[in-house]
Structure 1
Amino acid sequence: MASSLLSAALLPSSSFGLHLRIPRTTSSKLRILSIHATNVELIADPPTPSSQRLSFGFQNVADTFWVNVQRAEGRPLSIGLNSPLHFGNSKLETLDNVAMRVELSNGCVGWGEVQVLPSVTDVSLEMALAKAQEVCNFLRRTPPATLSSVFNDVTGLLSPREFAPIRAGVEMALIDAVANSINVPLWRLFGGVTSTLTTGITVPILSPEEASILASKFCNQGFETLKLVVGKNFAAEIAAIEAIHAAQPCCSFMFDANEGYTPDEAIKFLEKLKDVGIVPLVFEQPVDRDDWKGLQEVSNVARMHGIPVAVDESCRSLTDVCKIIDENLVDAINIKLPKFGVLGALEIINLARKSGLILMVDSMAETRLGTGFAGHLAAGVGCFKYIVLDTPLLLAEDPVVGGYEASGAVYKFNNARGQGGFLNWNLLPCASQRPN
């Protein structure tokens, strides 16, 4: 561990001095006492139990690791879906994202994914590729600096909210490269609470018979929590829910209305669930993102039924989170890295934990690069109650080599450094070679 921390703290200089004060014990941990132009002074802490030496402080690493980017590039990443995904009023049949690759001067590589969903994020694939190229050019020109300093520069280049998915992909790649450099898996870098997660899985909009068959298939594969998309056709949705419940009475439900209901419709939906004896784990985004009054009305009724309401589209910034907390609008928020970026998500997680909000983590439309990073983060911090990182299970193919192991609903994050997964980069077209 000491050698890893030493390498993370060395300044990019051809000469430096080290001043060490180390007790005569092999279990002492080195930490930075001070940094000067050509000196790194370290002090050894008293030994700690092995159970406490499993995680690395992300902020400490960000503040002390000097990043020197040698190569950086974004390329189109296109994958077909087994069945369409529905986001609000839009339907997605092909995943068209941007894969990010960052290589540091020490040879370590990091990977990230820019989620592109124009109907949700207002960023087209062309814009995402152009902005990714702009940031990559900047990173290659930037002199060595701490990871925190590089983060600040990237935020400056991609500050508008609509660029959050691009910022997330770049941040993922940088963090992954640094974790590879210090030989630490991401889940440990983010806190090391656990190395496994159990995910729910999404049942798309289908007829009652089709939904029942698909839900039974998922349950037989080990999934105990089913997320159903509602908010379009009240009667058909209730029929599908009843059919699934009859076929799989032991499964748990999460319902996501994707802003589809009016407050009255959402309340009617809750009352109908009560009539048929179904109490979901959570009811997500029941009304329009800007209908704060309606959201409060639905949440008040849901609380009487013991059902937490969660927000997704209504929670787009730290300001929204503060409003939700101050006005006690809902009980849970859905964290998606493309919506906030990695650093923004960590800030919101910290605030939510202090306030007692329930945390969800969800994917939008990503491969195992994006969901893998989100999974590592969720496992590391260990405070997410509801997890739905299922998009890769719905893809026609998996382009990621290595990475986390999926056994039904259980994801296992091993001790491979970084996130442990990568792409066959040479098989992806360069941005300039993308077909029209």
Structure 2
Amino acid sequence: MRSLRLRLMLGAAALAILFMLALLPALQRAFSIALVNAIQQRLASDVATLVSSARIDGDRLSMPEHLAVEDFNLPESKLLGYIYDRDGQMVWRSTSTQDESVQYVPLYDGEPDVFTRARDDHGNEFFVYDVEIDLVGGKQAAYSIVTMQPVSAFRELVHGFREQLYIWLGGALLLLLGLLWLGLGWGFRSMRGLREELDQIEAGERESLSDEHPSEMLRLTDSLNRLLASERSQRERYRNSLADLAHSLKTPLAVLQGVSENLANAPGNREQVQVLQSQIERMSQQIGYQLQRASLRKSGLVRHRVQLAPLLDTLAGALEKVYRDKRVILERDFPEGLSLPLEQGALLELLGNLLENAYRLCLARVRVSARQRDGGYELRVEDDGPGIPQDQRQRILQRGERLDTQHPGQGIGTAVVKDIIDSYGGSLALDDAELGGACFRIWLPG
């Protein structure tokens, strides 16, 4: 899980779900309490109706045949009404209680009203509201007025509320997650802007990051800018040091070369002079190789791209002058405007070594082809020369190894090519060319 946005989204979703799970029982409990209070108030109101309808005739309690609350008059109604005397004997029951047999006995514990529960003979539970009165119709009398309502209706309401609560909270959770995703996307726009600027730096289109970012990221961008500036400065100092080293070694080597030429004119020194000149040439090539190897190392922060066609034109023009007697035909097989992911100096050194070998060993034709492949770029340099034996192909990639002993050199050209390719994370392979000679096949990551 490498996406920061996804990780934040999953964390926020987990917190939202935990909050909803904690909120769900709280809302259910609040609804249940509110509903029970409403039932209690309803039963208290029904008790008041019974009290107002009761009359005392002599020592007996009388109730009208039809009460103001119609539910008491219907046999199928679930609103029950009872009146008990001081001895706990039932003296009246509403018409709605005909099919009910609730086991309830008034407490007469001195409390003016009691809200409790009771069960009938079938185990069904009822809410009970019991009020003790001492005065009925203006006359002294002690009775317990009781109203009841089945708990099943309450449970049905709670169950329906729970189902609706699941639906609404689920919908609210989905809406919240959608808003969170949009909010995180808006918040990460600054990260996308930073990424685009880094891509521009890698492509060489800009040198530093801007300060048009959120304040929380400015410290990061400042650190990256300092790192970029430090790398540019270090690379520049390194190149200057290499140039100074090359210049300081060039003169002593030239002096030694001149001395060796003077010594060659003296009789008896030819063999020693040849050895001296050979070693001077080897030292010159090795110094050049090491300087090229160091200066062409790819930067770790900046990614370069160089167009192939203009650089190939430059190299071909120089090689055609050197090998003008051969009249080499250079074939090109790549899209116009194709760019390769290398620094210009690296591509110049790499392609220069391969083309020089191809021009030197070919009969009349050299081909350079390039195309995108496997998420990178493939570059081929082929010739129609004698080719390279299968058992010798690994040998020529080693420093100082040469198959062609008829021309001067120390055999480090292909080693330079391989070092450059390795520094860019690419690969080098040798195949048989379609032209009949050798084919150097290079792959570079895009």
More strand by share: 1
Bigger Cα Rg:
2
* TM-score normalised by the chain length of structure 2: 0.20
* TM-score normalised by the chain length of structure 1: 0.20
Q: Which structure is richer in relative contact order (CA contacts within 8 A, separation 6 or more)?
A: 1
